[in-house]
């Protein structure tokens, strides 16, 4: 491994198809052990980004690197270090689970392919189904075969294109846990998803793309706050009384307040920085707090962003 730069780096990456610019100067980085979610409407360039990192498409501008290896000029070095789950993983339906994963172990020329396949199948919980044809499995289990195939050579970098698409909530939750487990072992994960609640739970940071341009990049909390304002809801056991009112009104970070009988909505200067102090002040004023939560979620923030005209577009 070279250098100390992040595991995945996109440095002003652009890509055209014909005359159309589908990725416009995309810059982002993913650290080891980090999960970065790429969000955006259909056609916003998410798959293109993954395909460039997977060495399947050349960037037309800028550069992209995986563990400091350039995806355009050091293709083999990159391929050895990435695991890829494509949008439609093409599995051999008539072959067994084991044979599908084994094929990939052989492609990578692993020293002990049998052991590697066993370990990957154990990780995704498919050991007892190893002799069944893939065609007989549910969609959720097929996705797990695709994940096993992607991780059979223990890559330090994972590129997952909508890993939970089409899965029922239980299967999606299982996939989410597997991805979390891999990141916990230090794998850098870049994934595309349309499931905003999942992105909010799973991703350390999210990048929102629209028409090939990066509009927002940050923790789900930061993105939510940037788009929806720094609004926090506090739910109390019992009514809002005078000391509680005073505690809020005397806190300089409070910009706006909305009172309900046993709840308060406040807009803070910076919700991440100011919420702990707000809670401390409320508690010392005798408030009995049931819940403190940021208003809105990533999904609301996303919808808000998509309803705005694109900066620099003619509609703006």
Ligand X SMILES: Nc1ncnc2c1ncn2[C@@H]1O[C@H](COP(=O)(O)OP(=O)(O)O)[C@@H](O)[C@H]1O
- Identified binder of ligand X from the candidate list 48, 164, 193, 275, rule CB under 6 A: 48
**In this complex, which beta carbon is closest to Mg ion, that of residue 97 or of residue 209?**
209
Number of H helices, E strands in the chain: 11, 14
- Identified binder of ligand X from the candidate list 43, 166, 243, 276, rule CB under 6 A: 43
DSSP-derived 3-state class of residue 21: strand
CB of 43 to ligand X, least distance (A): 4
Closest CA to 218 of 34, 77, 16: 34
Considering only residues 7 through 26, tell me which ones interact with ligand X, judged by CB under 6 A.
Answer: 17, 22
Beta bridge partners of 205: 36
Told to check if 47 binds ligand X by CB under 6 A, we report yes
Told to check if 230 binds ligand X by CB under 6 A, we report no
Give how many residues touch ligand X by CB under 6 A: 10
Dihedral Cα 131, 136, 138, 144, nearest 10 deg: 30
Closest CA to 87 of 5, 27, 130, 143: 143
**What distance in Å separates the CA atoms of residue 83 and residue 63, rounded to the nearest whole number?**
20
Q: Which region, judged by CB under 6 A, interacts with ligand X, from 36-44, 77-85, 112-120, 255-263? A: 36-44
Closest CA to 153 of 207, 199, 101, 97: 101
Residue identified by tokens 């590129």 is: 159
Considering only residues 264 through 303, tell me which ones interact with ligand X, judged by CB under 6 A.
Answer: none
- Neighbour tally for 276: CB within 10 Å: 10
Q: Which does 65 bind (CB under 5 to 8 A by kind): ligand X, Mg ion, none?
A: none
CB of 44 to ligand X, least distance (A): 4
Give how many residues touch Mg ion by CB under 5 A: 2
Q: Give the x-and-dash track for 157-186 against ligand X (CB under 6 A).
A: ------------------------------
Q: Which region, judged by CB under 6 A, interacts with ligand X, from 46-54, 103-111, 268-276, 295-303? A: 46-54
Q: Which residue is nearest to Mg ion (CB)?
A: 47
Closest CA to 248 of 283, 272, 282: 282
- Identified binder of ligand X from the candidate list 46, 149, 195, 216, rule CB under 6 A: 46
Q: Give the x-and-dash track for 43-62 against Mg ion (CB under 5 A).
A: ---xx---------------
DSSP state of 34: -
Q: Give whole-number Cα distances, 245 to 236, 269, 282, 294, in Å.
A: 12, 18, 9, 19
Told to check if 64 binds ligand X by CB under 6 A, we report no
Structure tokens at 169: 């909530």
- For binding to ligand X (CB under 6 A), which residues are involved? 17, 22, 40, 42-48
């Amino acid at each position: 491994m070279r250098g100390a730069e992040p595991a995945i780096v996109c440095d002003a990456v652009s890509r055209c198809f014909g005359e159309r610019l589908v990725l416009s100067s995309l810059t982002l980085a993913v650290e080891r052990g980090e999960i970065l979610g790429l969000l955006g409407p259909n056609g916003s360039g998410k798959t293109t980004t993954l395909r460039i990192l997977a060495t399947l498409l050349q960037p037309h501008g800028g550069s992209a690197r995986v563990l400091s290896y350039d995806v355009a000029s050091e293709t083999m070095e990159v391929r050895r270090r990435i695991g890829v789950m494509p949008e439609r993983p093409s599995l051999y339906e008539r072959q067994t689970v084991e044979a599908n994963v084994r094929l990939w172990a052989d492609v990578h020329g692993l020293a002990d392919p049998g052991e590697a396949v066993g370990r990957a199948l154990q990780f995704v919980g498919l050991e007892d189904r190893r002799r069944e044809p893939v065609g007989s499995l549910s969609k959720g289990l097929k996705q797990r075969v695709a994940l096993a195939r992607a991780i059979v050579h223990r890559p330090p970098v994972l590129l997952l294109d909508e890993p939970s698409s089409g899965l029922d909530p239980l299967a999606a939750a299982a996939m989410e846990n597997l991805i979390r487990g891999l990141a916990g072992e230090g794998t850098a994960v870049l994934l595309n998803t349309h499931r905003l609640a999942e992105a909010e739970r799973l991703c350390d940071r999210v990048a929102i793309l629209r028409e090939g341009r990066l509009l927002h990049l940050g923790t789900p909390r930061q993105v939510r706050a940037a788009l929806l304002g720094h609004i926090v809801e506090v739910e109390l056991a019992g009514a809002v009384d005078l000391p509680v009112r005073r505690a809020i009104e005397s806190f300089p970070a409070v910009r706006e307040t909305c009172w309900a009988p046993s709840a308060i909505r406040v807009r803070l200067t910076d919700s991440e920085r100011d919420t702990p102090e707000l809670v401390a002040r409320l508690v010392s004023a005798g408030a009995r707090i049931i819940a403190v939560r940021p208003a809105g979620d990533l999904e609301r923030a996303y919808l808000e962003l998509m309803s705005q005209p694109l900066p620099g577009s003619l509609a703006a």
